[in-house]
Amino acid sequence: MGRPVAIVGTGQTRHGRRMDVCYPELVREAVMAAFADTGIDPEDIDGVVSGTMPSMMEGVALTHFYFADAMQAAGKPILKTETCGSTGVSIAHTAYYWVASGMADLVLAVGHEKMNEGDSQATMTTVAEPFYQRFFIAGAPGVFSMQSQMWTDRYGIAEEKLRDAAAYISVTHHDSAFDNPYAHIKIKVTMDDVKNARIITYPVRLLDVCPNSDGACAVIFASEKMAKKLGRKPAWVKGVGYRGEEYYFGDSDKAVWQSAIEAAKQAYDQAGIRNPRKELDVAEVYNPFTYQEMLFYECFGFCGFGEAPDLVLKGVFGRNGELPCDPSGGTLCTNPIGATGLIRTAEAAMQVTGKAGDHQIPGARTALAHAMGGVDQFNGIIILGSEL
């Protein structure tokens, strides 16, 4: 690890269908909230990292131009990081390396998406190249339902148990979203609601899927010297891991998912974590689909392969369980994609600094945040701790 780096402030918008603001105003809302939370001014910032999903999402390209003023970035050094769905965590990583290098003491990271101004599934269809894949893996649910089926088939998971576990995840996350002031979808759902919701792509049903959200998130990273000077409780970066794999969907094993396994391993090694289920206090797993969340538990070593559904139903990953996952309601309830990984990071920072409010996990000291992207091919992890 390089120089110690801390997160000293976070800001989120109220996520949802934000027709009350234009896109730059949405970005500004998160950025100004982060400055207020940190107690610094835009003049104090040494550099800005910006990022989002593809330009087709809202029909504006190279958005750092458009948001220069909203991000308070005019006259500042800038980097623009984009890695598809994992963009949010990649933005956090960029800000981390920038401070760890010694080239900056305060870096502002900003992620954003205004999905109600575009067609997200049409956009994601264009992630698949036009010659072979685009015809049959259009949009996100197709890819993830194939992955879910590969996984359930591999481990012989009974359909009834699988549906129960997925429904349990959906119900508990939707409940948690009520405790998160920034969350988008706040509805009370029952196990039966989830299990009987309309099919999107088998086995994925409507309540197994994240929404299209408008939202932005800003996180301020600081050097050790600056973090101490600010005198606020920081969240220290303990590990950063990232891996990418093949583009063609059929080229990789998506059940024993190497990019997820290896990204977590890199971050664990840096953080000195050997038994993540015991040593992590909370995890913000990128969970646009209930089934995929269980797969991540296994790839991240929270449990053995094929074991996740049983443990989910025992409440191991619930708010009061051994390793609470997504107490914010997660991506399942809020997904402004370019911001989502950074929201996971911000939520993890809030947890280890005791600032998560009604969805605080008591005494959380070590937290994992995660994002996933590409054609099911990128995974990024950041681990935060309350102690240096």
Q: Which residues bind other proteins (CB under 8 A)?
A: 1-3, 22, 48, 51, 53-56, 59-62, 64-69, 73-84, 90, 93-94, 97-98, 100-103, 123-124, 126-127, 129-130, 241-247, 258-259, 262-263, 266, 373-375, 377-378
Partners of residue 5 on adjacent β-strands: 223
The residue (of 120 and 292) whose beta carbon lies closer to other proteins is 120
The residue (of 123 and 351) whose beta carbon lies closer to other proteins is 123
The residue (of 95 and 166) whose beta carbon lies closer to other proteins is 95
> How many other CB atoms sit within 10 Å of the CB of residue 78?
15
Q: How far is the CB of 9 from other proteins (least distance, A)?
A: 21
The residue (of 122 and 187) whose beta carbon lies closer to other proteins is 122
CA distance 31 to 219: 8
Q: How far is the CB of 2 from other proteins (least distance, A)?
A: 4
Which two three-digit tokens encode residue 28?
């500004």
Q: How far is the CB of 100 from other proteins (least distance, A)?
A: 4
> How many other CB atoms sit within 10 Å of the CB of residue 244?
18
Q: Which residues contact 45 (CB under 8 A, 6 or more apart)?
A: 72, 76, 106, 107, 108, 220
Q: How far is the CB of 216 from other proteins (least distance, A)?
A: 16
CA distance 242 to 313: 30
Q: How far is the CB of 16 from other proteins (least distance, A)?
A: 21
CA distance 174 to 162: 18
Q: How far is the CB of 223 from other proteins (least distance, A)?
A: 12
The residue (of 113 and 326) whose beta carbon lies closer to other proteins is 113
Whole-Å CA distances, 131 to 83, 106, 136, 183 = 22, 44, 11, 38
Q: How far is the CB of 130 from other proteins (least distance, A)?
A: 6
CA distance 366 to 282: 7
CA distance 300 to 243: 13
The residue (of 240 and 364) whose beta carbon lies closer to other proteins is 240
The residue (of 288 and 329) whose beta carbon lies closer to other proteins is 288
CA distance 289 to 147: 11
* Residue 359 Ramachandran class (φ > 0 left, ψ -120 to 50 alpha, else beta): alpha
